[in-house]
Chains A and B, each alone.
Chain A
Amino acid sequence: MKASLNWIRTYADLPQDITAEQLAHDLTMQTVEVEEITNPADLVEGVVIGRVVTVRQHPQADRLVVCDVDIGQGTTSQIVCGGSNLYENEIVVVAPPGVKVRWHGEGERVELSAAKVRGVVSYGMICAAGELDLEGLFPPSEDEEAEIVDLTELFPDAIPGQPVADVLGLDDLIIDINNKSLTNRPDLWGHYGLARELCAIYGGTLHPFPSIEIPEGTSDYSVEIVDEDRCFRYDAVVFEGIELRDAPFSMRKLIWSVGMRPINVIVDITNYVMLATGQPTHAFDESHVSNGIRVRTAHEGEQLELLDGRHLTLSPTDLLICDGADKAIGLAGIMGGAHDSILPETKDIVLEVANFEAISLRRTASRHHLRTEASIRFEKAINTQRCDLALGLTYQLMAELQPTARIVAAGTHRVRETEAIEIPVSLHFLNVRSGHTITADDAINALEPLGFDVTYDGDDTLNVSVPSWRATGDVDIKDDILEEVCRMIGYENFEYKPPVITLDKPIRQLAKESERAIREFLAFRAGLQEIYTYPWVSDAFINIAGDHTDTLIKLASPPSPDRSYLRGSLIANVLEASVLNSRYYETFGLFELTQVFSQGAVSPSIEEEKLPRQERHLAIALAGVLPFLLFRRLKGILAQLPRFGRFEGWEFKQSGDKMPWADRNAWLKIVNDEGDELGSLGLLSPKATEESGLRIPCLALAEINIEKLVPLQSRDNLYRRLPQFPLVEQDLSIVIDEDVSWAQIYEAVANLVHDAKFVEEYRGEQVPKGKKSLMFSFRLGSDTGTLTAEEIEKLRNRLIKKLRYTLGAEMR
């Protein structure tokens, strides 16, 4: 929302020397966030008044003229111009060389220099409104194509060479306030409210609001509020004998400077009143309103065409302004109807000043995607008393600007008034909660300039009466009073105070620590990169991962139509991320640890709330060239994870169903002691690899349900005594049947040797078909002494014999 400091000053005595920076800072610190402060005079910096002395045809161009213009420099300046409305003695707006203008009202501003235009030198430019961003203030007439700004009528006494900013009175500070920070302050949506706030900040004096009493002796006008829950007050006033013309320049300028468009005197008065008081008003053409006003809810399917040309189909949740014949003439508090608002031929008007219930009005505005200056204000909840301010100001302006107009009828229907709120606040409360020393005088000095009435009982209690303009939901409890006092004192004036805290319990969160250890192991030891992905998954990748959509959660309005499901596993997202990265890397490893969702009815807090199943999963993807090596690398990482992640161990086992995405020859499940499945790992199948568009040979994937892991208090292994005598390192190559597994070999040798380790497998010419060669290493040692060569040989032979008997192994 924009506000003019000049306008605010008409209601308040404020220090004259407030700078834009200071104003932005003070308002931001104490009240609302100021986004920007601008001065409209900057639009015409260096631009001066000119008087056209002569106008002659350009020798080379039909559409151009050459003017001699007096810009107050003794001699006239020659300016080439394309304006269609140039005449001698015209008062115009001249941009001399060096000034920046927007050529033809388009693009960025560029600096003018004296330059030849079709052979004739032009010393500057006679400006059209658009070239100085003034088109809102000087709207081009419809039939003129190349119209320059003509000030002859408005400012006949303007002196050539005078700065245009001075003549137009543009020097002002326009404060642009962040709308979001005004959400709870309906009183600040008008200049009078801002004037009050600035008086409180700067210690200025607020003038009484300019208004005049309703004239006596006007006949009753019928006003009926049918839906009393949604309209609390409605005043209608009929004016006869309107002369529709432009509002005075000073009014148009104020309306324009805060970002609205001046239209005609009646519409401008209604807008001016809204901008001054924050209370929207509206004017209907009286000849279209028969027998008074009715405020009622719409019928199902009822139609209304709005001022902006939109056709609405309404429902009983919408509130309508109708005439006495029940014809809809406006959507209450949002926008007037197209056919019954002010029209070019309007002679008599019905002026509406009303108060509508905020929430339902907001629902209507949202449903029809209508956000107007009026609806934005009404939806913040306005006090009913503000109607009086708006009426008073309207009477005054009408008397001033439409002296021929007469009030012929007026009517009002009042359902209820905004009630004052009384809040007792203790000084103790203010002091303890702020941490700042606040006396009764401090509190009173902070509150009274804002319009609060405060009485102090001399002991500990302040009785605070909230003014009606703050009593519509903004201030209703003592904490609100605390905030008012604190922000007026200024938080920047608060000292730092250490809190009194009891260290009553040590904090130990094993699951949290384990999760961090898992991430750090994967990143720092296993060399994987952590990624974040979105919770919504592409349909294509859900398909490839083989997730069943019937158990997935769906978004009502997803970010894109093919990403409506939330992840039920992490495989799809991690696969998609791998495909993306395969464009740039041949080998890489990544992981994600986050929540996945599936249908369910879980109540984490209260019975009534049933949420889907939400569990934390970990997924890992390794990309590379050699499939089985890749699988083994992944298995190696996973084998070490429990120890480094500090949770109870797990085993690998081929059980249950293969994962849909996995290669039929390379998949395993991860199970705990009880055989419960914790996760799985596998090689991405050739089919899934092909379908996903992966640009690298292969990918190994794993997914684990982190919530099923049992974190440990500390690492769970026991110390192993160091050997008294040195161990000797040995290895052995054996030839065995293809179907004998390493696990079987390990089991056979485990209690005969120390540290049996798989080294490599070999199949080839030297190995008979149906067999494989396998090499493993181990260590031998004794508790009674260093082994001799003979003893080593004896132990090796025992090993070989056992392998031969149990597994049919031969030495290579």
Chain B
Amino acid sequence: MRDQLSEIREKGLEAFATAETSEKLESLRQQYLGKKGVLTEILKGLGKLSHDERRQLGQLANEIKRLLLQAIEERKEELLDKASFLELQPDLTIPGIGIAGGGLHPITQMCYDLNDAFRSLNFEIFSEDEITSELYAFDYLNFPPDHPARDTMDTYWLKGTEDKRGAKRLCLRPHLTGASVRYLQQHGAPARFVYPGTVFRNESTDARHERAFYQYEALIVDRDFSFSSGLLLVRTILEKVFGHDVPVRMRAGFFPFVEPGFEIDMQCSVCDGEGCHVCQDVGWIEVMPGGAPHPNVLRAAGLDPDIWSGFYINIGLDRLVMMRYEIDDVRLFRSADLRFLEQFK
């Protein structure tokens, strides 16, 4: 019996140590230590032995049982350390499973970036309706009747109103600036607000020209607001949008609704002002017109131009987004083509 026990010990230890799987290990445990296991059978047979032998062999058998259990535990841990849920090494170059993909229009994204920047400076967001009248699109903005500047904005007039004048002549807004008068009439001054939206021009289209495009205007009206502060505002906003300081310059420009008017350029980010094909070797890119609201515009808004002044900028978002992603055809924005839009998640 002693021999049997040492054989069980040897064979058991050997079998446990080499068991390949945890299932195999479990069946070996049953085989040796289960209710009908070989060791259990031996222990059952102990009763027939003398007291001394029973004591000695019992001790030995328990010692072996302890050894075997320990071996099982060790082997279990070894096996667990080596374990994998995957029998074979899978091809880990196979791509992950994607999540359902949607996205905002790239212009909406840019608009929200700007909204966040302006909101952090305590600007309000104002939306004007897309259909407006000649009164707000031109008359209130210091465009004299039949002034050549009206021609630079070929307007979509509404049928049945095209031969009327002023408030009775309706159109798809050719620019956003009229919205500023609406806001100021309603809220008065001081005021700090942005008014983004789509504008429409009756033009022929190509890769750089569109009939519908997205503009973003911001206006501050306050007491004694200076151009120096306006310039700082522009710089702050561009820094927020681009994530780094963007050198800007302001130069003379003419728009009827501002006096003085500016063109605001930013340093070309492709060449850092050295000159390249993007900026046509100028080193600067025209990003926005701006200026101080013309006294006649302030008057139209019910404000006294001797008290109030301000600063306005207009950002063409289509163009800014085109620069951000190097898009070469503006018409893609309104194509509704998902193959294009899906690229801007």
**Which chain A residues have a beta carbon within 8 Å of chain B's beta carbons?**
28-33, 180-181, 183-185, 359-360, 362-363, 366, 379-380, 432-436, 473, 477, 479-480, 482-483, 486-487, 491-492, 494-499, 501-503, 507, 509, 512, 516, 519-520, 522-524, 526-535, 553-559, 564, 566, 573, 576-577, 580-581, 584-585, 588-590, 594-595, 597, 604-606, 608-612, 614
Contact = CB atoms under 8 A, between A and B. Distances in A.
Contact of A507 (B124, B128, B181, B292): B124
A580 B336 CA distance: 8
B327 interface: no
Interface of B: 99-105, 107-108, 112, 115, 119, 122-125, 127-133, 135-136, 144-149, 151-152, 156-162, 166-168, 170, 172, 181-182, 185-186, 190, 192, 198, 200, 202, 211-212, 220, 222, 224-229, 231-233, 235, 249-254, 259-263, 292, 294-295, 305, 309, 333-339, 341-342
A180 B190 CA distance: 32
Contacts of B156: 555-558
Contact of A380 (B133, B145, B148, B158): B148
Nearest to A483: B260
A519 B112 CA distance: 11
A97 B260 CA distance: 54
A366 B133 contact: no
B119 A507 contact: yes
Contacts of B130: 535, 595, 597, 614
13 contacts: A483-B252, A496-B229, A497-B228, A499-B226, A507-B119, A512-B127, A519-B108, A529-B338, A555-B158, A555-B172, A556-B159, A604-B129, A611-B170
A321 B128 CA distance: 47
Contacts of A479: 259-260, 292, 294-295, 305
Given A491-B227, A554-B158, A555-B156, A524 B129 contact: no
Given A435-B228, A531-B336, A608 B112 contact: no
B122 A486 contact: no
Given A477-B259, A482-B259, 16 more contacts: A433-B226, A434-B228, A435-B227, A479-B292, A499-B232, A499-B233, A523-B104, A555-B158, A556-B158, A580-B337, A590-B336, A597-B131, A605-B136, A605-B186, A608-B135, A609-B136
A486 B336 contact: no
Contacts of B292: 433, 479
Given A473-B144, A494-B231, A590-B338, A532 B225 contact: no
A581 B170 contact: no
B122 A503 contact: yes
B184 to A, nearest CB: 10
Contacts of B333: 532
A580 B127 CA distance: 30
Contact of B102 (A436, A526, A605): A526
Contacts of B231: 491, 494, 496
Nearest to A499: B229
- Give the secondary structure class of B's interface: mixed
B224 A433 contact: yes
A97 B116 CA distance: 62
Contacts of A496: 228-229, 231-232, 235
A477 to B, nearest CB: 6
B334 A532 contact: yes
A530 B340 CA distance: 11
B227 A614 contact: no
B249 A520 contact: no
A651 to B, nearest CB: 25
Contact of B157 (A495, A555, A573): A555
Contacts, number: 246
A491 B212 CA distance: 32
Given A359-B144, A496-B232, A497-B229, A491 B129 contact: no
A379 B148 contact: yes
B295 A432 contact: no
A581 B263 contact: no
B338 A432 contact: no
Of A359, A435, A566, A612, most B-chain CB atoms within 10 Å: A435
Given A183-B254, A491-B251, A501 B122 contact: yes
B309 A433 contact: yes
A379 to B, nearest CB: 6
Nearest to A606: B167
Q: Which of A30, A497, A555, A605 has the most CB of B within 10 A?
A: A605
A253 B172 CA distance: 47
B263 A535 contact: no
B260 A486 contact: yes
B334 A534 contact: yes
Nearest to B259: A479
A690 B338 CA distance: 22
A434 B107 CA distance: 33
Nearest to B154: A557
Contacts of B125: 509, 512
Contacts of B339: 584
B120 to A, nearest CB: 10
B145 A359 contact: yes
Nearest to A485: B260
B260 A366 contact: no
A524 B102 contact: yes
A473 B186 CA distance: 30
A482 B225 CA distance: 14
B290 to A, nearest CB: 11
A103 B335 CA distance: 42
Contacts of A585: 338
B54 to A, nearest CB: 47
Closest 7 A-B residue pairs measured CB to CB? A435-B228, A435-B226, A527-B100, A483-B260, A577-B336, A497-B228, A499-B229
A555 B152 contact: no
A483 B259 contact: yes
A634 to B, nearest CB: 14
Given A363-B146, A577-B336, A604 B182 contact: yes
A589 B342 CA distance: 11
Contacts of B157: 555-557
B212 A534 contact: yes
Contact of A494 (B101, B108, B250): B250
A180 B127 CA distance: 29
A501 B222 contact: yes
A503 B121 CA distance: 9
B252 A30 contact: yes
B104 A533 contact: no
A57 B40 CA distance: 127
A498 B232 contact: yes
A462 B173 CA distance: 40
A30 B253 CA distance: 9
B260 A487 contact: yes
A612 B124 contact: no
Nearest to A488: B252
Contacts of B167: 606, 608-610
A28 B250 CA distance: 10
Contacts of B252: 29-32, 483, 487, 491
